[in-house]
Amino acid sequence: MARYLSRPMPSTSNTDTVVSMGAAFGIKEVKELSSVMEESTGIPYGHMPVSFLKRRLAYIFRKHNIHNSDTFKQMLEAEDYREKIAYDFPVDTTEMFRDPGFWRYLRSQLKKLVINGSINVWFPEASSGEEVFSFLIIANELGIRDKFNIICQHYSAERLDEIKRGVLFNKNIQVNSSNYVRIEGSGVFEDYYALVDNVFILKESLLKNVQTVQGYFLNDPAPEDIGIIIFRNKMLYYDKEVSGICMKKLWDSLLPGGIIAIGAKEQIPEISGDKPECLNAKEKIFKKHGFEINWNNE
Amino acid sequence: MNDNKRYKAVIIGGSAGSFSVVSKILSKLDPDFPVPVIICLHRLKHVRSGLVEGLNMKSKIKVVEPNDKERITGKRAYLAPSNYHLFIEYDNTIHLSTEETLNHSRPSIDYTFSSAAYTYRDKVLGIILTGANKDGASGLKDIHDKNGTTIIQDPDSCDINTMTKAALKLFEPDHVMTPEKIAEYLNQLAV
């Protein structure tokens, strides 16, 4: 249980030579390692920024006490070790209600939704729960929580388990609380979680209709009938080619009238055919033309 | 030293009190300053607008908050967005990241300086300004170690000199200068 309190910080070293562990990552080695990781997991590590790979590999090597690349490559052959990498490699979402302006805008749009039945909301690369929990809280405060089926996908079973259990990282709790004040929520943030065995856990009632799907979204079939996709700050860690592939897959899975949100400083890759309608340029929210999702203002 | 057209980028880092210093430097730059200027300042993460607009009021070159994967070009200044780290990738593009804070900071000046050091090596000029913590000192040393040029704002001219003194403890910079002298020095690169 204590691991949630003490997840080590990623490497603070950004050097070619990671002195603390006696290993050196040249560009060639990083490319080789990322290629092996990609081959053994199906996740496009080879299409991630080199400087990012260096930092994350340094972190993984240090955390797992690995001293050379050959050992790492051997360890990757074991499934349970690949799961450890799947857990440790991705970047956590920084905080709940990151970019409060985004959440205020999304809330204003959700208010306008006309919902017959329910709407599927997909978090395709949910490395931690902050975005999901933020959505659940604003939907709850609008009184429409039951109208959404939440689909969280990730390739790490352990990360999905944390989301399913509503784990909030203790170190972010103050920031989460401050952000909640900035979105001008109608409740009291502290009422949404409890301290259980020294870990902050989201209220169980918020977590109903949250489905977790283990797998990598680019390799698996997309869930059907998606009305809303939250994919913020995920393409930062892919090159342009894979970012384009991500966007095509997500866009194709959206119902007409559905929306997708990307990070405020990400650029939407070109989508052939249907041109996205920009709902909010600052918060990078885009809408697919059509009316299967009815936003009431059309 | 003939620095003309030698540099691929100028990197400026600062914290408390640095806005006015950066503004002063940018206001004195030659409008045709050919080298990209990349600026990493500690800033409030929930305030996403205002800083770039403020810098543009006086700057002689255009200041932008880049998007991820944006290509770095001359006659332009790039300000690290709030709540994102800014790295320089090997293909001369900006890479933004939401990774953990470093030195309690995101953006972290150490990260920006270090990535510039490893991308541009001796073809980068790093400048550290006034600030209240040590973030940036180690990254500027990386630039120094890769034979880039380093300037530290004269601690006597700083509002708070913790950052500059931290850098001075780590290595001997090429120059210690007042903001006015830094602007003059940069303009020599535009000749």
Q: Which domains does chain A have, with CATH numbers?
A: 2-88 (no CATH), 100-287 (3.40.50.150)
ipTM: 0.91
Q: pLDDT tens digits, residue range A84-122? A: 999 999 998 889 999 999 999 999 999 999 888 899 999
* Shortest alpha-carbon distance between residue B188 and chain A (Å): 31
* Shortest alpha-carbon distance between residue B19 and chain A (Å): 22
Q: Is B15 part of the annotated catalytic residue set?
A: yes
pLDDT for position A297:
57
Please tell me the CATH code under which domain B9-189 is placed: 3.40.50.180
What's chain B's average pLDDT? Answer: 94
* Helices (runs of H) and strands (runs of E) counted in chain A: 9, 12
pLDDT < 70 regions, chain A:
1-24, 297-298
Cβ-in-10-Å burial (0-12, 13-18, 19+) of B2 comes to exposed
Domain extents in chain B = 9-189
Place of tokens 């913790």: B162
Nearest to B67 among A9, A100, A266 (CB): A266
For residue B107, say if its preceding peptide bond is cis, omega within 30 degrees of 0: yes
What would the DSSP string read from start to end of A187-214? S-GGGGEEEETTEEEE-GGGGTTEEEEE
pLDDT for position B50:
87
Residue of A17, A31, A53, A55 to mutate, testing the B interface (most B Cβ within 10 Å of its Cβ): A55
**Which residues face A285 on adjacent strands?**
A261, A280
pLDDT for position A233:
97
Q: What distance, in Å, lies between the first and last C-alpha atoms of chain B?
A: 14
pLDDT for position A10:
40
* Shortest alpha-carbon distance between residue B180 and chain A (Å): 32
B67 contact residues in A (CB cutoff 8 A): 265-267
Q: pLDDT tens digits, residue range B140-190? A: 999 999 999 999 999 999 999 999 999 999 999 999 999 999 999 999 987
CB B98 within 8 A of CB B83: yes
Q: pLDDT tens digits, residue range A130-147? A: 999 999 999 999 999 999
Residue A9 touches chain B, beta carbons under 8 Å: yes
Q: Taking residues B32-52, what's their average pLDDT?
A: 90
